[in-house]
């Protein structure tokens, strides 16, 4: 190993306080369509252990892809022995008639976050099933981890006091998200696709750091570019800590 490679490895395994991430809100394990990886839980845990990420919100891909009831049960069972991982639940928005039972099960298990897979399940904001699932989740005080375009799904969620983390906010869509966030204190987005040279800075300057959280989509995307983007953002240490850790802790509280 060269000196350069050794130094990089050392920095990766010994992150400074500015590099550390308390919570990654976008972690999956299992197979995924159109992706060459089929990564089990132990490999995902190993990837996180090699990164500056201390904890994560995670779920099995069985839930969104095959069977929400069995997938939730699998997530709860698997993560019971993983202190660094908190379980996330899901429901099939194509079968909203069963959603109430699924959400009652998740609430009884103390699950705080519900992840919606509207892209994989071909759900639109105006679909009756989607509206039903969202209403049931918000009635139970759950926070939503939401895929899809925030410009399409944000307006129907506005004005409801919802805590929503948009997982697919691209830098090109940032201005529209900022307009939403100005009116919605519960709207947040992950840093994953904010690849513009000043995307993170724009959010902090426009609406404050509380509207961002860290998300990597491990294992289907590499963690390191996400952590480096946050590390080198031109923001204060307090802002960085809020994005990396404190905003998720606020949601957990």
List the chain domain ranges: 21-252
Whether 26 has a pLDDT exceeding 90, the answer reads yes
Q: In this structure, what DSSP letter does residue 198 have?
A: T
Compute the distance between CA of residue 91 and CA of residue 162 in angstroms, rounded to an integer. Answer: 18
The class of domain 21-252 in CATH terms is alpha beta
Compute the distance between CA of residue 230 and CA of residue 194 in angstroms, rounded to an integer. Answer: 10
Which token pair is 140?
A: 């139970």
Whether 5 has a pLDDT exceeding 70, the answer reads no
**C-alpha separations of 168 from 119, 129, 148, 199 in Å:** 11, 21, 6, 14
Tens of pLDDT, residue by residue over 94-138, are 999 999 999 999 999 999 999 999 999 999 999 999 999 999 999
Compute the distance between CA of residue 13 and CA of residue 49 in angstroms, rounded to an integer. Answer: 9
What is the average pLDDT score of the chain? Answer: 93
Compute the distance between CA of residue 113 and CA of residue 156 in angstroms, rounded to an integer. Answer: 19
Cβ contact 167:215 at 8 Å: yes
The residue behind tokens 């860290």 is 214
Which has more confidence, 50 or 4? Answer: 50
Contacts 24+ apart (CB under 8 A), 31-40: 31/61, 31/65, 32/61, 32/65, 32/220, 33/65, 33/120, 35/220, 37/219, 37/220, 39/219, 39/220
Q: In this structure, what DSSP letter does residue 218 have?
A: B
Tens of pLDDT, residue by residue over 134-170, are 999 999 999 999 999 999 999 999 999 999 999 999 9
């Amino acid at each position: 190993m060269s000196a350069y490679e050794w130094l990089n490895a050392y920095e990766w395994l010994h992150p400074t306080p500015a590099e550390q991430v308390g919570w990654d809100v976008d972690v999956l394990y299992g197979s995924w369509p159109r992706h060459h990886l089929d990564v089990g839980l132990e490999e995902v845990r190993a990837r996180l252990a090699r990164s500056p990420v201390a904890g994560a919100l995670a779920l099995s891909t069985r839930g969104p892809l095959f069977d929400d009831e069995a997938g939730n049960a699998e997530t709860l069972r698997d993560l019971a022995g993983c202190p660094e991982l908190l379980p996330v639940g899901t429901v099939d928005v194509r079968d909203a008639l069963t959603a109430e039972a699924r959400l009652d099960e998740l609430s009884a298990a103390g699950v705080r976050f519900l992840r919606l897979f509207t892209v994989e399940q071909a759900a639109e904001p105006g679909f009756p099933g989607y509206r039903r699932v969202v209403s049931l989740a918000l009635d139970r005080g759950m926070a939503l981890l939401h895929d899809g375009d925030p410009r399409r799904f944000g307006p129907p969620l506005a004005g409801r006091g919802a805590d929503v983390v948009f997982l697919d906010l691209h830098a090109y869509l940032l201005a529209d998200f900022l307009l939403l966030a100005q009116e919605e204190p519960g709207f947040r987005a992950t840093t994953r696709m904010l690849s513009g040279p000043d995307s993170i800075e724009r959010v902090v300057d426009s609406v404050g750091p509380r509207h961002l959280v860290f998300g990597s989509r491990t294992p289907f995307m590499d963690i390191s570019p996400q952590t480096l983007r946050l590390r080198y953002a031109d923001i204060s240490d307090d802002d960085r800590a809020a994005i990396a850790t404190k905003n998720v802790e606020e949601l957990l509280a």
